[in-house]
């Protein structure tokens, strides 16, 4: 029982530490952008041919969907945080690295939620220059990449479980066959 508690504690600490790191990085970069750039001003090259800086305020969600529904997004962010934390608490076999990864997703959601609560909009500033893509921020990167990596990790974990189950089934079948051969 003590081992389960230690494991749970490690998962929760990893989750909360990752969420806090992402939140701090997100809020620090947004504060810097608001102090160094002009809202809606001209683009500043960050990585030539790849990424520019352009400060915009987004009152919607991804790709400006749902403009003006900030309260709904705050509730969604709180719900997602609660669900992810509950998952980390409940899943006894969850590796600590996966709990930390879920924490990055939660931290990104909280970062954008803080903007909505404090300013009524989300500060976006990363603009791709090689394709026409919506402007985004550090929180968006962690939410999007975190979800993709978690999805891939779950697929791989599922494949590993299937392989392990298949091996156990094959051993059981082989064992049954050899027992039947011994009886004849």
Catalytic residue, chosen from 26, 52, 115, 140, is: 140
Is residue 171 among the annotated active site residues? no
Residue 127's DSSP bridge partners are 52
Dihedral of alpha carbons 108, 109, 115, 120, sign: positive
Catalytic residue, chosen from 52, 115, 124, 169, is: 124
Is residue 159 among the annotated active site residues? no
Q: What phi, psi does 15 have (nearest 5°)?
A: -60, -50
The owner of tokens 């980390």 is 88
Alpha carbon 125 to its chain's center? 19
Query: The tokens of 88 are what?
Result: 């980390």
CA dist list (Å): 175 to 76, 161, 168, 181: 52, 21, 10, 10
Nearest partner of 100 among 8, 13, 1, 40, judged by Cα: 13
Report d(CA 39, CA 145) in Å as an integer.
27
Could you write out the three-class secondary structure of 16-42?
A: HHHHHHHHHHHHHHHHHHHHHCCCCCC
Residues involved in catalysis: 124, 140
């Amino acid at each position: 029982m003590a081992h389960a508690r230690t494991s749970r504690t490690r998962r929760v600490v990893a989750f909360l530490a990752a969420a806090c790191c992402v939140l701090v990085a997100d809020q620090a970069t947004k504060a810097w952008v608001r102090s160094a750039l002009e809202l809606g001003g001209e683009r500043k090259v960050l990585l030539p041919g790849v990424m520019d800086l352009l400060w915009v305020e987004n009152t919607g969600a991804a790709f400006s969907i749902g403009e003006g529904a900030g309260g709904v997004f705050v509730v969604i962010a709180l719900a997602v945080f609660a669900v992810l934390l509950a998952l980390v608490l409940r899943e006894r076999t969850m590796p600590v690295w996966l709990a930390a990864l879920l924490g990055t997703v939660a931290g990104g959601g909280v970062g954008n939620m803080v903007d909505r609560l404090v300013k009524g909009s989300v500060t976006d500033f990363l603009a791709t220059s090689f394709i026409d893509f919506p402007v985004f921020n550090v929180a968006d990167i962690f939410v999007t990449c975190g979800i993709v990596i978690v999805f891939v990790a779950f697929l791989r974990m599922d494949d590993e479980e299937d392989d392990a189950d298949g091996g156990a089934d094959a051993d059981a079948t082989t064992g049954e066959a050899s027992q039947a051969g011994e009886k004849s």
